[in-house]
Amino acid sequence: MKLTYPAIFYPWDDSLGYTVEVPDLPGCVSEGATLAEAIFMGTDAASGWVLTELEDGKPVPAASDIKDIHPDEAGGFVSMLVLDMDAYAEKYGSKAVRKNLTIPAWLNTFAESRHLNFSQVLQNSLLEIYEHDKVEA
């Protein structure tokens, strides 16, 4: 899943650095010593913010139209950040969710006789489907 959010970049008075704010993600602020670093850090902060919401089962905030976002300070400017949530979640997602499931008794006996880890089998199967869908997209 790719997402885009407008971000406001404010240059530092005494150096080449920037502070970056993502207005659609309350409290999402980062900075970098260069513009490139500020873009990277802003993207990382926004991706982490969104991943936390997703892992908590909350909806992803809608992005504002870039034309509706304006800096509060002189010298600030607005640009878009692109978030690759699939790549970010693969790298940093770690929250585990407990799931209860029901399977036929004979299948349970089969799996237990082979000392299979039910959670691992389900994760592997879901990851295989996920990777297949990602290739087709």
Q: How far apart are CA 111 and CA 64, in angstroms?
A: 49
Looking at the structure, tell me whether residues 64 and 110 fall in a common domain: no
Q: Is residue 98 domain-resident? A: no
Looking at the structure, tell me whether residues 81 and 115 fall in a common domain: no
pLDDT in the model for residue 5: 97
Looking at the structure, tell me whether residues 88 and 109 fall in a common domain: no
Q: Could you report the average pLDDT of every consecutive run of 10 residues in the chain (137 residues)?
A: 95 90 96 94 95 88 95 94 89 71 88 87 84 72
pLDDT in the model for residue 137: 60
Looking at the structure, tell me whether residues 37 and 77 fall in a common domain: yes
pLDDT in the model for residue 95: 63
Nearest CA-CA partner of 22 in 59, 55, 54, 64: 64
pLDDT in the model for residue 15: 79
Alpha helices for 7-115 (secondary structure H): 35-55, 85-92, 105-113
Looking at the structure, tell me whether residues 24 and 81 fall in a common domain: yes
What predicted TM-score, i.e. pTM, was given to this entire model? 0.69
In the chain, the number of structural domains is 2
